[in-house]
Amino acid sequence: MPDEQILVVKRSVFDKLGAFQGVNFQVNHYLEKLLCKEELEFVPRAAAEKNPQLKQLIPYVIMAYEDSYLCYQRGKRAGEQRLVEKISIGIGGHINPVDDTPLFCDDFSDIYHNAVAREVAEEIDIQCEYNERIVGLLNDDSNEVGRVHLGVIHLWQLEAPLVTKREQMICKLDFMKIPQLNQIRNKMETWSQLCLDNLSELVKSPGVQFS
């Protein structure tokens, strides 16, 4: 079976823009370059997972209904085995060539939008209207998973808590308030821990409208 091709940006581009640890709210500053076609390429996933000189670009979607946030546990069928049984408040995944239609058009935002919509639709079914914006960037160089990934944090404000799972790897899907999430923080993947620690600020951030 052919190796999955995924979208990456060179670590040197990230460093030039200003490498950071944790959550960064300067969305426009980073996305202008990170979504520039000259800086992006598709490479085999197996190679990218072992190369810290590449950052895999990952949409990471947080879903909110009023003051509660969608939370789930990654099951044993999770694609990233290092995250199995971890709790998450983010839905997301890799950008693949299937999202690239037409191939690297001048405005890469359409391709990126395709990837976000596909990833969410593969994992969950949302049965209500929602508003969406990009509210931050996410980086964690403290562990081997984080060193090869770079997250783009989306916030989807749902009009109703009507979400069901589609992907088998998603378990225990539920909406929780911040105090409840803090009680299970130590069971979360590191990206979700970082987002939880900044959740109040992320929700207030005007971010960038995304449609």
Say if pTM beats, i.e. exceeds, 0.85.
Answer: yes
pLDDT tens figures, 177-211: 999 999 999 999 999 999 999 999 999 998 887 65
Distance between CA 32 and CA 36 in Å, rounded? 6
For 7-30, how does the pLDDT look when each residue is reduced to its tens digit (9 = 90+)? Answer: 999 999 999 999 999 999 999 999
User: Do residues 22 and 162 touch, judged by C-beta distance below 8 A?
Assistant: no
CA pair distance 57, 93, nearest whole angstrom:
9
pLDDT of residue 103: 44
| Separation of alpha carbons 191 and 180, rounded Å | 17
∠ CA 152-169-162, rounded to 5°: 70
Which segment of 29-33, 56-60, 181-185 scores lowest on mean pLDDT? 29-33
Locate 207 and state its tokens. 């971010």
- Pairing mode, if any, of strands 149-158 and 54-65? parallel
Q: Can you tell me the distance from the alpha carbon of 94 to that of 96, in angstroms, rounded to the nearest whole number?
A: 6
Q: Is 51 helix (H, G, I), strand (E, B) or coil?
A: coil
88 membership: H or E segment, kind and range? strand 87-88
In the chain, where the domains are located = 5-206
Tens digits of residue pLDDT in 67-124? 999 999 977 554 545 556 789 999 988 998 876 554 444 556 777 888 898 889 999 9
Task: Spell out the CATH class of 5-206.
Answer: alpha beta
Distance CA 68, CA 180 (A): 9
pLDDT band for position 33 (50/70/90)?
Answer: confident
